[in-house]
Each structure stands twice: as structure tokens, then as C-alpha cells.
Copies of this chain bind each other. A is one copy, B any other.
Amino acid sequence: MGTRVARGFGQYSGVARAVERVGERWALLIVRDLLAGARRYSDLKQSLPRIPTNILSDRLKELQEAGVVRRVPIVRGGYELTEAGLALAPAVLALERWGWSALGEPAEGEVVSADALAVSLHAAFRPDAAASLPPTEYVLHVAGTSLSAMVAGGGLDVVPIGPGALPQPHRRTATAAPADVLELVVEPGAFRDLLTDASAATSLRAAAADIGMTVLAGGPGLVDRFRRTFRIEPVAPDDAAGAAGEASVA
């Protein structure tokens, strides 16, 4: 049939409703990619290489029925988030932050897409830290994909670089070119270390080459600026022998 009557959980609850709408396999990854901007069917298929085409088709239909996604009027095969879909941003970014704590090294065959990277940057972005820093452009090359993150005055704007399909109405308002530009080539694992603040805190620039990162452009100190602008707090590793009394939401 394709479109399927969502199997409920029999609960009158917020998360139950949320999971009914965006909890099917692949659905939240589609939402994540659309959070980076409107995309066409083939764009999604490319940034989600392992999704079967029928599943992508089914999910897009279901997400439309759920009021999360709608078609872009003019563009053939174009999809974008509705208001309700955009409202998922806090939840998706929270999951993104949580997922980073478990992100280990990339497994065999795992890819990094530009959209995923863009959302990671949004999840890691610290507006208040950025507000007190001079405008900066960060150009990142990670695992074959490239993007540019403009940071100015507490705001963040990420756009993919390259033969970008679907010209976005990116409101990168013609601000004067930023004084500082940092351009990095990083391997996925090194990118995680960059954001996660893990081990190499101070010796990072020195050991840059060792951990899979090379600075193409940008003076010293810009890497530190990046790390103050983008950071995800790691979660304490699971303690098998934790003391008692642990419960309840913070």
C-alpha cells in the first residue's frame, strides 16, 4: 500500500504522539536533512545513501500526512519542512548532541553528509560565546564534503559548498566579508574531537596533523575560536557501579 496507518502506542502522551509521527525508521534522518534546507528527492537519496528508495518515498508521504513536510511548489521532487516540521529543530538538535557522546570512530563504510554536518554545527553552536567574538567564516572540508559556516553576532548560517543543488534563499545577507576566515580539512574522527572537547584541549594546534586535521587558511587562534563557538558537552561514560538514588529528570 505504501502509506500506512500509523500504529499507535495507546498512550495519550506527547512523546508517544511524536514517535508516532517521526519515529519510523529513517524518518528523523529525513527531517534532519530538511532542517538544513529544502531538498529534492535525489538530494535526500544521496545524503542518505543506504535508504531504500521505496522507504524514502513512503516516509515522505507519511511525513506529509503528519504535517511535518510539504512539497516545494515549483521544484519537481522538492521537499521542505512545514512550520510543524521546523518546530522539531529543538528535539533533533538535542538528539544530535546526545548522539555525539556515543559517536566513537566512524565505522566501516559510514559516510558524512553535508546536511548532517550542518546540523551538527547548529547543535554545537554557542550563540552567547559567538556574540562576543569577531565575525568569522569557517570553511570545513570533511570526508569529501565541504561547507561554509558564517558566524557573526550570535548568528550562524551554514551553506554547503560545491555544485549545490536547489539554490537556497540563504539569507546570508550581504554582510561585509568577515575579517577572519579559517579553512580546515578534517577527518570525521578529528571533527568529533574538535567539537567534543575531548582530550587534546591545548595541544590541539600542535598535534593537528597527528589527529587528522590540517589548516588550509587562517591564523593561529582561529582554531581556538572555533572551539569556543562550537562545542558539545560530552556525557559521562556509563558507570556500571554507580551509587544508588539516581532518578528523575534534571
Contacts from A to B (Cβ < 8 Å):
8-19, 21, 23, 25-26, 28-29, 32, 35-38, 48-50, 66-67, 70, 72-73, 80-84, 86-103, 106-107, 109-113, 116, 119-120, 122-123, 143, 157-158, 168-170, 188, 235-240, 242, 244-250
Contact = CB atoms under 8 A, between A and B. Distances in A.
A37 B247 contact: yes
Given A70-B240, A82-B238, A238-B82, A10 B109 contact: yes
B110 A8 contact: yes
Secondary structure class of chain A's binding surface, majority of residues: loop
Contacts of A28: 15, 19, 23
Nearest to A35: B249
A87 B95 CA distance: 10
B169 A12 contact: no
A16 B37 contact: no
Given A23-B28, A87-B235, A13 B246 contact: no
Given A16-B116, A28-B15, A242-B82, A249 B99 contact: no
A12 B249 contact: no
B26 A9 contact: yes
Contacts of A103: 12, 14, 17
Contacts of A94: 90-91, 94
B12 A29 contact: no
B95 A15 contact: yes
Name the residue among A8, A168, A250 with the largest chain B CB count within 10 angstroms.
Answer: A250
Contacts of A38: 246-247
A248 B36 contact: yes
5 contacts: A9-B29, A16-B29, A73-B244, A81-B247, A157-B248
A120 B169 CA distance: 37
Contact of A244 (B111, B169, B170): B169
Contact of A12 (B26, B32, B72, B188): B188
Q: Give the top 3 A-B pairs by smallest Cβ distance, nearest first.
A: A14-B99, A18-B99, A67-B238
Name the residue among A25, A244, A249 with the largest chain B CB count within 10 angstroms.
Answer: A249
B82 A239 contact: yes
Given A88-B98, A94-B91, A249-B122, A83 B13 contact: no
A96 B247 contact: no
